[in-house]
């Protein structure tokens, strides 16, 4: 007997299949009904009082409540309640004083062994801790600034014990998943030893930060139109000048340099013949990236904002390797990127620091002073930000934030030049569609 899901609009063989599906639907509806029936038990009826009572959920809050109960027992029931009260207060005092005293003699410095890396690459972090007191310190941890979503329990590294009167150095490998400058927030060294009742904190001195570049993908060669911008490092066969290789000969013209005369041909023909060389011609490409936060979806490394920057960085890197000049247009400002190493490092450093803008920026004229242009946007971007070649990221495949369902696609029915459907296969979709567009450009279609 073959059973097929009813939701696929396929034929089900046999009455047992229909019974199984109806049974599953009835179970689902029964579960939903039971959940809604008992939902009133978990509803928050006094949200205004949360800030006054949430401290009771902490270990030290529970102990203080027990201390109050023990005090009431000592007053109204039996004097033994005072013994319990003193015991609880001693535990609370030890749990607060011990970590505070232990960190008073601790100083911590942190630095990265390398200054730059890319998303997903590992970088070594060196931590030096000095304990100026004779007593050892247990349960140290370094937190804050190393993860996209830091919480109270997110520790970058944990250390079991630091001996007294010692200087210890630790090295661990940190793998950033998102571009940026790390640490993204001032790090701190903390301890909750011995009871975890209270967390003592001290700031960590950062000697050298880590700049994480966006991850780039190796795109196939894409032919750009012949440029008109002069550059001695980019000679062209289609332009005559004095910078490149020899391309031919021609009769002498008034104003030609004597250095260009081909003396053997001059003697053969009885008149001056000069050599022609390649002229400099460099293509200038413009890449527009929409940074408006209202145009993007998701949060973290898999958001449309991060993928838009990765795509723009990949295209820019590929084009400058072909000896082109790339202008990255963000609406609010521009970044000029050439094939020089200093220019590439400067541009990638600034890409690592990019943040979404609060207000929509006015897009510059993409054809002004450029020979080729492309825009990277989402289906939430305004239509006036599109160009003839637009790479569109479909926001439906990047839902990673609670407010994602509140946005509606503006360009849902627009046919893009390249379309990226979701973060799972974004790199594969970009590479394959870029290769197709490259073959079409080579063939002239």
Domain boundaries, the chain: 53-101, 104-213, 235-280, 284-443
pLDDT above 70 (res 13): no
DSSP bridge partners of 111 = 126, 208
Q: What is the pLDDT of residue 39?
A: 73
**Average of per-residue pLDDT across 61-73:** 93
pLDDT digits (tens, 9 = 90+) for 283-292: 899 999 999 9
DSSP bridge partners of 236 = 279
- Tell me: domain 284-443, CATH 3.40.50, correct? yes
Q: What is the pLDDT of residue 368?
A: 60
DSSP E strands in 3-122: the ranges are 106-112, 116-118
Question: Which of 363, 297, 370 lies closest to 330 in space, CA to CA?
Answer: 363
pLDDT above 50 (res 12): no
Confidence of residue 21 (pLDDT cuts 50, 70, 90): very low
pLDDT digits (tens, 9 = 90+) for 225-259: 765 555 545 554 544 555 556 678 888 887 788 88
| CATH class of the domain at 104-213 | mainly beta
Confidence of residue 49 (pLDDT cuts 50, 70, 90): confident
pLDDT above 60 (res 34): no
| pTM, two decimal places | 0.76
Q: What is the pLDDT of residue 279?
A: 57
Cβ-Cβ contacts under 8 Å for 356 (sequence gap 6 or more): 291, 292, 293, 296, 305
Is it true that 104-213 and 284-443 share their CATH fold?
no
Distance (Å, whole) CA 152 – CA 199? 10
pLDDT digits (tens, 9 = 90+) for 134-176: 999 999 999 988 886 655 456 788 998 999 999 999 999 999 9
Lowest mean pLDDT among 79-93, 166-180, 245-259, 298-312: 245-259
């Amino acid at each position: 007997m073959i059973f097929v899901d009813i939701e696929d609009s396929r034929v089900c063989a046999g009455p047992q299949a229909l019974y199984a599906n109806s049974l599953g639907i009835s179970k689902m509806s029964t579960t939903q009904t039971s959940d809604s029936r008992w939902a009133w038990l978990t509803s928050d009826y006094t949200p205004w009082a949360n800030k006054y009572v949430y401290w009771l959920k902490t270990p030290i809050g529970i102990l203080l409540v027990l201390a109050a109960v023990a005090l009431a027992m000592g007053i109204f029931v039996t004097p033994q309640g005072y013994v319990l009260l003193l015991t609880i207060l001693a535990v609370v005092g030890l749990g607060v004083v011990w970590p505070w005293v232990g960190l008073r003699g601790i100083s911590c410095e942190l630095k990265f062994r390398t200054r730059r890396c890319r998303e997903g690459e590992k970088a070594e972090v060196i931590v030096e801790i000095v304990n100026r007191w004779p007593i050892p310190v247990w349960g140290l941890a370094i937190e804050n600034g190393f993860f996209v979503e830091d919480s109270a329990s997110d520790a970058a590294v944990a250390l079991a014990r630091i001996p007294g009167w010692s200087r210890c150095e630790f090295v661990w490998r940190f793998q950033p998943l998102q571009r940026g400058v790390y640490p993204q927030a001032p790090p701190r060294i903390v301890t909750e030893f011995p009871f975890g009742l209270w967390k003592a904190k001290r700031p960590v001195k950062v000697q050298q930060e880590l700049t994480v570049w966006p991850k780039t993908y190796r795109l196939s060669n894409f032919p750009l139109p012949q440029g008109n911008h002069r550059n001695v490092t980019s000679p062209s066969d289609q332009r005559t000048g004095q910078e490149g290789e020899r391309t031919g000969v021609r009769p002498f013209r008034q104003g030609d340099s004597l250095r260009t005369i081909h003396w053997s041909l001059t003697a053969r023909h009885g008149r001056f013949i000069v050599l022609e060389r390649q002229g400099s011609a460099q293509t200038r490409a413009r890449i527009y990236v929409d940074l408006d936060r209202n145009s993007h979806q998701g949060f973290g490394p898999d958001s449309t904002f991060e993928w838009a920057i990765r795509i723009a960085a990949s295209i820019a890197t590929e084009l400058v390797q072909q000896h082109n000049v790339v202008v990255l247009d963000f609406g609010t400002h521009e970044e000029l990127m050439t094939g020089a190493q200093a220019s590439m490092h400067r541009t990638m450093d600034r890409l690592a620091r990019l943040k979404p803008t609060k207000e929509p920026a006015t897009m510059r004229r993409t054809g002004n002073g450029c020979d080729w242009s492309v825009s990277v946007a989402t289906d939430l971007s305004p239509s006036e930000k599109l160009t003839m070649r637009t790479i569109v990221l479909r926001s439906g495949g990047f839902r990673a934030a609670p407010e994602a369902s509140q946005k509606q696609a503006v360009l849902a029915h627009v046919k893009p030049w390249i379309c990226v459907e979701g973060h799972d296969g974004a790199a594969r979709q970009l590479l394959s569609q870029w290769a197709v567009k490259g073959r079409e450009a080579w063939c002239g279609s």
